[in-house]
Structure formats: structure tokens, C-alpha cells
């Protein structure tokens, strides 16, 4: 299956227009430029998937400063503008109307770790629920997804892991680990989410996973 088809299959499993849940590949964000609508985000996702990944990094849910605007998990507008995301050649391209590009601490930490381990071009990013959960009426917020909302992401996660059967799946955060376990998808490891003071534990956990993989 080519990357474009895979991207569409993933997106087609997800609902749109739900209160408190934003679908970056179907819903419209008031902060986004007209050139960064759902079509642009789907194309960006397809480019991200154009690889034979060594690792699938599965987080919990998108944040309002990251995937909501980029369509890529653990990826902020700032990282796109800086041109550091492999296969996404949009250096200098603004995505939102904000004076400066949105930056997300977790996204910065994750990509910094991937580059330090020299595996940035060998990883596909995803989330247990690839929809941004926010407090209804206040889209610039994040909240923990409910179990029912996590259920909305199961079909896409199954398709993604099936498309890359050789990739090691690493759960980032408790919700991601629970989702994979609930679905019966074997994970190589479950590591700390980088948010809320978890940066060092995340980096150490990821390094241990990568080193273990290199020794086998």
C-alpha cells in the first residue's frame, strides 16, 4: 500500500465535527491559514508515512499547539517551519495566523531525542486517539481522552501497525500503553511521556529501547 492510500485509510476511520474532539484531517481550525486546511494536513501525513519505519512511536492524544495544526503527532508548527521533520519539506512555510509559529514542548523533546539517537528518519508518529481532545468551547486547551474516545482510535491504530509489521511499537504514556494492551498489540516498551517533567525519563526510556534493538 502506498503512503497516500494508507493516509486516507487512517483518516477515513475517524469521526469529524464532534464536540470537544478536533479531527485535524477533516475539521477546520480558526487559527490555521487557508493553505493549511485538512487537505494540506492529509498530504503532510502521507509524506510522513513514506518510509519503512524501524519504530512506531505511539503517544496518547494530540495537543492544541502541535498536531492540531500540523496533522502529525509530536510535531509543532515551529518544527515544520524550521525544516527539521524528515520527508516534510516545508521549511519556512507558516501554518497558522499566529504572529510566531506555535511550539509544543513535548514535540521539541521527542524530535530532539530522535535526532540525538540518529533515528529521526526511521520513525512514524501516531497517537492512541489521533483526535485533539479539548474542553468544549475552548479549543486552545488539552484534556485527557475518555475511554470511549480512545476507542475511536483503535481501527486506525490497527491499520497502521498492520501496514508496518516489522516496526517496533513503543507506547509513550500510560494511555497509549493501555490502548495497545487493550487491543492485543505487542509493544516493545512503554516509556514515560515527556510532558509535565517527564523529559529526562522519556529520553532515557527511548535510548534504552533503541540500544536494545541495536543489540539484537
With bands split at pLDDT 50, 70 and 90, how would you rate the model's confidence at 216?
low
Instruction: Reply yes or no on domain 3-214 having CATH 3.40.470.10.
Output: yes
Over residues 182-214, the pLDDT tens digits come to 999 999 999 999 998 999 999 999 999 998 876
- How far is the C-alpha of 202 from the C-alpha of 69, rounded, in Å? 24
- The mean per-residue pLDDT over the stretch 112-136 comes to 97
DSSP state of 165: T
Domain spans of the chain? 3-214
CB atoms closer than 10 angstroms to residue 49: 24
What does the DSSP assignment read for 193-213?
-STTTTHHHHHHHHHHHHHHH
Q: What is the pTM of this model?
A: 0.95
- The mean per-residue pLDDT over the stretch 138-164 comes to 97
Q: Does residue 215 register a pLDDT over 60? A: no
Average pLDDT, the chain: 96
- The mean per-residue pLDDT over the stretch 133-137 comes to 96
Amino acid at each position: 500500500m502506498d503512503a497516500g492510500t494508507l493516509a486516507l485509510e487512517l483518516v477515513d476511520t475517524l469521526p469529524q465535527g464532534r464536540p470537544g474532539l478536533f479531527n485535524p484531517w477533516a475539521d477546520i481550525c480558526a487559527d490555521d491559514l487557508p493553505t493549511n486546511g485538512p487537505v494540506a494536513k492529509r498530504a503532510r501525513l502521507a509524506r510522513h508515512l513514506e518510509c519503512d519505519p524501524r519504530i512506531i512511536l505511539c503517544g496518547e492524544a494530540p495537543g492544541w499547539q502541535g498536531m492540531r495544526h500540523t496533522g502529525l503527532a509530536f510535531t509543532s508548527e515551529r518544527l515544520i517551519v524550521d525544516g527539521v521533520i524528515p520527508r516534510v519539506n516545508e521549511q519556512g512555510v507558516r501554518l497558522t495566523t499566529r504572529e510566531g509559529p506555535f511550539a509544543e514542548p513535548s514535540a521539541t523533546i521527542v524530535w530532539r531525542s530522535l535526532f540525538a539517537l540518529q533515528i529521526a528518519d526511521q520513525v512514524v508518529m501516531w497517537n492512541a486517539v489521533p483526535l485533539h481532545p479539548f474542553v468544549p468551547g475552548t479549543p486552545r486547551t488539552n484534556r485527557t481522552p475518555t475511554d470511549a474516545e480512545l476507542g475511536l482510535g483503535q481501527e486506525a491504530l490497527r491499520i497502521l501497525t498492520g501496514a508496518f509489521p516489522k516496526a517496533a511499537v513503543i507506547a509513550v504514556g500510560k494511555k497509549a500503553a493501555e490502548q495497545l494492551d487493550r487491543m492485543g498489540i505487542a509493544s516493545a516498551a512503554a516509556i514515560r511521556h515527556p510532558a509535565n517533567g517527564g523529559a529526562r525519563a522519556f529520553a532515557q526510556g527511548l535510548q534504552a529501547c533503541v540500544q536494545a534493538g541495536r543489540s539484537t
